[in-house]
Amino acid sequence: MRSSILDLLRQAEGSYISGEEIARQLNVSRTAVWKHMHELKLAGYAIESHSRSGYRLLQTPDLLLPNEIKNGLATKAFGREIKYYKEVASTNNEAKQWAANGAQEGTIIVSEAQNGGRGRLSRGWFSPTQQGIWFSLILRPGFLPQEAPKCTLMAAVAIVKAIRRHTGITAGIKWPNDILYQGKKIVGILTEMSAEMDGINYIVIGSGINVNTKLEEFPEELRSIAASLAMITGKKISRLELLRAVLLEMEELYEKVGQEGFAPVLAEWRQHSVTLGQQVNVIGINESFAGRAVDIDEDGALLVESGEKVKRVLAGDVSIRPAM
């Protein structure tokens, strides 16, 4: 009902629409209309009420409300089901719960803030209220668990493309899935899965996109290594529009994987990579070494030329050595 009322207010494009008209079109009482308007105002919508003219929408709140996300969303499945929170420990944790309880593919979990945001390798992720897009996507692919790491590469490619399309910023991907701009991290991705050996129960792709965080809002220890899109462009960016763009790029790429496998994803990943061709330090599970990142293989492993050998890196930390 609230979403139908919002649709009518939006269609009026800032003009008044009478309570009587709304009640008639939605076949509800005027009291019901009044109650829903009240709730919308509480949710943060700026709605002007006028005793004779009716209602008009002045401003939507700067929140990732499900109604707002869906308004203009061009996807088929991704983001059609939305679990919205004001604050959670980690959207990935919520997503795993929803997925274990049967949430369908494409469901997203969105929170305005995370107080226990997690990144790769047990690191934290700074997720201040309303400053970024902190969300997780549930997938239920038909492939084997061995293919899952490539979903992470897919997500990185999709987000880089969405950022470029929406903001014009050309960011790069540091293997496997950090998104950097001039060496500073603007997006982190954490992929988790539940699987049997014969198939995947579900994959959760969690993304943290620093959208409008200001330099001084970052904790001091992050200021030299992190940035937000607004810091780069110098102006506030619509989280809603960017999230819709991200969901669309992700869905399109995921459909492509379903049809053609991961080869196109790997090809696009190579194009956007800032790791390939660089001297890197690898801190792996079993060994640490330096070398030159030359390619990724069909499994998504980073190939690093070290001395005479080319080593395959499947996990761990790969840092790019600054040029002298």
Q: Which stretch binds its own copies (CB under 8 A): 5-13, 81-89, 228-236, 309-317?
A: 309-317
CB of 282 to its own copies, least distance (A): 13
315 binding its own copies? (CB under 8 A): yes
Q: Judged by CB, which is closer to its own copies: 86, or 312?
A: 312
40 binding its own copies? (CB under 8 A): no
32 binding its own copies? (CB under 8 A): no
Q: What is the Cα–Cα distance from 202 to 218, expressed in whole angstroms? A: 33
Q: Judged by CB, which is closer to its own copies: 99, or 246?
A: 99
CB of 116 to its own copies, least distance (A): 15
Q: Within 261-300, which residues bind its own copies (CB under 8 A)?
A: 285
Q: Which stretch binds its own copies (CB under 8 A): 53-61, 130-138, 139-147, 180-188?
A: 139-147
CB of 311 to its own copies, least distance (A): 15
Choice from 19, 106, 132, 176 touching its own copies (CB under 8 A):
176
Q: Judged by CB, which is closer to its own copies: 176, or 291?
A: 176
Spell out where 61-157 has E strands: 82-88, 108-114, 132-139
Q: How far is CA 107 from CA 83, 96, 206, in A?
A: 8, 11, 12
Q: What is the Cα–Cα distance from 250 to 260, expressed in whole angstroms? A: 15
102 binding its own copies? (CB under 8 A): no
Q: Cβ of 170: how many Cβ atoms within 10 Å?
A: 10
The structure tokens listed for 297 are 């293989």
CA 120 to chain centre: 15
Classify strands 178-181 and 288-296 as parallel, antiparallel or unpaired.
unpaired
210 binding its own copies? (CB under 8 A): no
Choice from 7, 48, 192, 252 touching its own copies (CB under 8 A):
192
250 binding its own copies? (CB under 8 A): no
Q: What is the Cα–Cα distance from 5 to 291, expressed in whole angstroms? A: 60
Q: Which stretch binds its own copies (CB under 8 A): 14-22, 60-68, 125-133, 146-154?
A: 146-154
Q: Which helix (H) or strand (E) holds 194?
A: strand 184-196
Residues 109-128: x where in contact with its own copies by CB under 8 A, - otherwise, as a string:
-----------xx-------
Contact 202, 196 (CB under 8 A): no
197 binding its own copies? (CB under 8 A): yes
Q: What is the Cα–Cα distance from 80 to 70, expressed in whole angstroms? A: 7
Count, residues near its own copies per rule CB under 8 A: 27
Close Cβ partners of 67 (under 8 Å, ≥ 6 residues apart):
2, 3, 6
3 binding its own copies? (CB under 8 A): no
What are the phi and psi torsion angles at 150 (to 5°)?
A: -70, -20
Contact 63, 177 (CB under 8 A): no
The structure tokens listed for 73 are 């969303």
Residues that bind its own copies in the complex, under the rule CB under 8 A: 96, 120-121, 142-146, 148-149, 152, 176, 190-199, 201, 285, 314-316
